[in-house]
Amino acid sequence: MNTQNLHRLIEKYEENFYKLNSGNLGEPDEIFKWKAAKTFRDVWFSEEAKAMSFSEKFNLAKKNFDILTDNSYVSPSNGIVKVAEKNQVAVETLFETLLFADDGGDLEARQNNMEKFLEEFDKLRAEYYPQSFKFKQERHSVSCYLAFFAPDVNFIYRFSDAEEFAKHVEYGKDLGSGGDFRLDRYYELCEIIVEALKEHPTLLEKHDNLIKERNAIADEYYVDVTRHILAFDLMYCCRTYNFYAGMTHASKKDSIKAFVEAEAREKERLERESRIAELEAELHTLEMEAEKYTYISLLNVEVNQPTYGKGVVIAQQNNKVTVKFETCEKGFIINKKYPVRPTFENDTEIVEAFTEYDSLLEKIKALKNKIALI
């Protein structure tokens, strides 16, 4: 663990704290996450909620956090509402007896419950909205539901933020992804962050004072005693606002060694460092732009293809999909350049999105190669 990098990132977060939470129109106000937690819990555990249908309760509870889960391409929180409107009992059961089940602190059981929730909910989505990829859930959205339900024992997870932070603080353990994801390792990283945050009392004071000021106007913000939301917010802001700029870490060990060995060529080293930082800033912009497309999942979505007829997407990697037809399985690239491809219900939107995504991935790849050669 590179504690120097960890504390430097916390310092950068503190240095920008008021900018991150200005509350002015058009400027960041990241404190909304604490408002989202308070809103969710106030609704979820209220007496009034007992008389609501599940879809009504969830829709009201999520009103301040869907900015974290939804964008112009995917809408998982709205998907919960829409599917629940079709089958209130099934969706409520998934939440109450699976996702929000008391696991006694067993993180392996909690992860298994999360995965089972994803699997079972997607069956319901496929039943009621088979052509809607927008309503699909993923670990980030599910972690938000968990974290706002019980913020003292859960952490919000978002793959891109967690991976980037773990890399820069040299966490030393692979968080994994897909079937290799490790919730226990992610929570361990978060707990390390929480302990580090305690060593920055002025930051905690600024945060607590801001919550008090906002709650003095209207009691709408969750008091995050465990600092769990703050740990995620640190990771989120470090990546969103690129606090990593100019920061070296273990994955660049060879470069750092080369710099040390070339102390006599200090000017060349500084120019090289400056160029890398410039390209990394450009890479960061591209990756942030490409991220929104990664949440588009076409798995189990129905398609049509002139030659093979109706089919269902059974595998997806970036803009490449495998479709199972009645007589065979075929792979296709979703891009304007390839007309012999399956069509979707909202075909124009999907093709435009994946064509742009493919273009961004090519630019990212070229930029990474350029950085590697410097």
**What pLDDT does residue 1 have?**
83
Give the range among 178-182, 193-197, 214-218 with minimum mean pLDDT.
Answer: 178-182
Read off the pLDDT band of 257 (50, 70, 90): very low
- Supply the pLDDT for residue 339: 86
Q: Distance between CA atoms of 177 and 270, rounded to whole angstroms? A: 36
Band the pLDDT of 250: cuts 50, 70, 90.
low
The predicted-structure confidence for 6-54, as pLDDT tens digits, reads as follows 999 999 999 999 999 988 888 899 999 999 999 999 999 999 999 999 9
As a whole-number percent, the residues of the chain with pLDDT over 70 amount to 95
pLDDT of residue 361: 92
Inter-residue contact 84 to 58 (CB < 8 Å): yes
- Range name among 33-37, 134-138, 173-177, 308-312 with the lowest pLDDT average: 173-177
Q: What is the mean pLDDT of residues 64-81?
A: 91
- pLDDT classification of 249: cutoffs 50, 70, 90: confident
Helix crossing, 76-86 with 107-128: angle to 10°?
60
Least confident of 37-41, 67-71, 241-245, 314-318: 67-71
- Mean pLDDT over all residues of the chain? 91
pLDDT, tens digit, for every residue of 193-205? Answer: 999 999 999 999 9
Q: What is the pLDDT of residue 45?
A: 95
Q: What is the CA radius of gyration of the chain?
A: 23
* Res 179: pLDDT: 83
Q: Judge residue 137's burial from the number of C-beta atoms within 10 Å of its C-beta, 0-12 exposed, 13-18 middle, 19 or more buried.
A: buried
pTM of this prediction?
0.80
Q: What kind and span of H or E run contains 183?
A: helix 183-197
Task: Give dist(CA 360, CA 286) in Å, integer.
Answer: 7
For residue 261, is pLDDT > 50? no
Q: How many CA atoms lie within 13 A of 369 on its CB side?
A: 6
Q: Please say if the pLDDT value at position 247 is more than 90.
A: no
H or E segment and range at residue 133: none
Of 154-158, 186-190, 264-268, 278-282, the poorest mean pLDDT is in: 264-268
Per-residue pLDDT for 252 more than 80?
A: no
Q: Which tops the pLDDT comparison, 84 or 64?
A: 84
- pLDDT digit string, tens, across residues 101-151: 999 999 999 999 999 999 999 999 999 999 999 999 999 999 999 999 999
- How would you class 301 by CB atoms within 10 Å of its CB: exposed for 0-12, middle for 13-18, buried for 19 or more? buried
Picking from 76-90, 134-148, 284-298, which range would have the lowest pLDDT averaged per residue?
Answer: 284-298
C-alpha distance from residue 206 to each of 11, 59, 360 (Å): 13, 32, 38
- How many CA atoms within 13 Å lie on the side-chain side of 284? 17
**Gap between the Cα atoms of 251 and 240, Å rounded:** 21
The pLDDT-based confidence of 256 (bands split at 50, 70, 90) is very low
